[in-house]
């Protein structure tokens, strides 16, 4: 396989929501048997066929940056974590459907990743909602994934799935809800798989095909050679 162009996608959310299990499922198509806490950042790579089945089809590497820590961390920790936010082409926000706080905290994760130059009190208004004008120019493709769907009774799912309505209103992201211990939720041809592919296509288009694509930095186009699918760990 020839060396491939790549894009960088952040995976953000509270500790314990299943980010590592999700990334492993996306990159290895396998369930992670013994997940552990991520310290710093862990990077895994997924091979994606852009516009699969069309004359424009091309293969890319998707770097998935699983960022550890808590959104409530001290400022020194946030400052250290900010280094992972450079040259971002897309963001996957992950929350635990059984944990309302993890859903609410996506507001703070989006603030930290998308608007790092502003202090939180300058962006959040008194009722806890966004001042949407602060994010009006965001063009980074976003995907929201809710985990542990299997633990939500069907009679409660509608109520639970409305928790992230604020993100839909602000950013209009794709949304996927799944169980990271069951690969069938991302089976080829499923609605979730279609949404995922559409998101990665959008990330690639913003990076390589749209002149006004919104990304920070990226002064060069580094490439991975064949046979370099592996996890990198930053402690």
How do the domains of the chain map onto residue ranges? 6-209
pLDDT at 84: 92
**Confidence class for position 227, pLDDT limits 50, 70, 90:** very low
**Confidence class for position 211, pLDDT limits 50, 70, 90:** low
Q: How far apart are CA 92 and CA 108, in angstroms?
A: 14
Question: Any idea what DSSP says for residue 103?
Answer: H
| Residue whose token pair is 């493709």 | 141
pTM of the model as a whole: 0.82
pLDDT at 136: 62
Q: How far apart are CA 15 and CA 69, in angstroms?
A: 6
Q: What is the mean pLDDT of residues 61-76?
A: 84
Q: Are 42 and 230 in contact (CB under 8 A)?
A: no
- Please, what CATH class does the domain formed by 6-209 belong to? alpha beta
Q: Are 99 and 17 in contact (CB under 8 A)?
A: yes
pLDDT at 164: 78
pLDDT at 141: 94
Least confident of 37-51, 86-100, 126-140, 156-170: 126-140
Other CB atoms within 10 A of residue 8 CB: 24
pLDDT at 74: 61
Q: How far apart are CA 163 and CA 210, in angstroms?
A: 32
Token pair for residue 84? Answer: 């992972």
Q: What is the mean pLDDT of residues 176-199?
A: 96
Q: Are 59 and 48 in contact (CB under 8 A)?
A: yes
Token pair for residue 192? Answer: 């979730």
Q: How far apart are CA 195 and CA 99, in angstroms?
A: 24
Token pair for residue 11? Answer: 């995976």
Least confident of 39-48, 87-96, 114-123: 114-123
């Amino acid at each position: 396989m020839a060396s491939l162009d790549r894009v960088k996608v952040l995976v953000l959310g509270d500790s314990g929501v299943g980010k590592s299990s999700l990334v492993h499922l996306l990159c290895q198509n396998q369930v992670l048997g013994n997940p552990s806490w991520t310290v710093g950042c862990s990077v895994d790579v997924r091979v994606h066929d852009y516009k699969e089945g069309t004359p424009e089809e091309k293969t890319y590497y998707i770097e998935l940056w699983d960022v550890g820590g808590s959104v409530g961390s001290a400022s020194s920790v946030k400052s250290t974590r900010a280094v992972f936010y450079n040259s971002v082409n897309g963001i996957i926000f992950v929350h635990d459907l059984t944990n309302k706080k993890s859903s609410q905290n996506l507001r703070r994760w989006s603030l930290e990743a998308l608007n790092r130059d502003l202090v939180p009190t300058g962006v959040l208004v008194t009722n806890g909602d966004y001042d949407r004008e602060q994010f009006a120019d965001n063009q980074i493709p976003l995907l929201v994934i809710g985990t542990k769907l299997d633990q939500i009774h069907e009679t409660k799912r509608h109520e639970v799935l409305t928790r992230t309505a604020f993100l839909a209103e602000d950013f209009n992201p794709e949304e996927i809800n799944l169980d990271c211990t069951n690969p069938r939720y991302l089976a080829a041809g499923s609605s979730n798989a279609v949404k995922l592919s559409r998101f990665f296509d959008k990330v690639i288009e913003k990076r390589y095909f749209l002149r006004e694509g919104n990304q920070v930095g990226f002064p060069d186009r580094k490439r991975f050679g064949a046979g370099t699918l592996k996890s990198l760990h930053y402690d």
